[in-house]
Amino acid sequence: MIIELLGVSVPEVKKQEYGRAFTSLVGPIQVQEGCLSCCVFQTWPNESQLQIEARWRSHEDLIRHLQSDVYKKLLLLVELGTGPPVIEFFTVVELRGLDLVEIARNSRH
């Protein structure tokens, strides 16, 4: 699995407008082959920062996404931000959840 994080700073007065524009891309991203999930976040305490997180089944699925028209629209939105975007991709080798918390909490000395 690959996690894609894209963050952009937006003008405070246009935060709602940017939020709606980013949110409008979630559906088209989610239906792309290999997309496991996609959502938009507003960060805190820097509320003028918007982030999109998408999870991809494979590297090939991610590359197809990066070459898509939907991603082109996303990049156009990012270019309208107030600063340079943060774009990161994380390749997940192992995914753990509550089981790891339980192990850690039960093995305290």
The DSSP-derived string for 3-16 is: EEEEEEE--GGGHH
pLDDT of residue 21: 94
Structure pTM? 0.87
Task: Reduce the DSSP state of residue 48 to 3 states and report it.
Answer: coil
Residues 6+ positions from 19 with CB-CB distance below 8 Å: 40, 42, 50
The rounded distance, in Å, linking the Cα atoms of 8 and 97 is 28
pLDDT of residue 107: 86
Residues of the chain with pLDDT under 50: none
Taking CB atoms within 8 Å and a gap of at least 24, the contacts of 97-105 are: none
pLDDT of residue 109: 61
pLDDT of residue 11: 86
pLDDT of residue 28: 97
Q: Are 90 and 2 in contact (CB under 8 A)?
A: yes
Q: What is the mean pLDDT of the chain?
A: 92
pLDDT of residue 35: 98
Q: Which of 23, 17, 21, 19 is nearest to 39 (CA)?
A: 23
Residue 18: CB atoms within 10 A of its CB come to 20
Q: What is the CATH number of domain 2-106?
A: 3.30.70.100
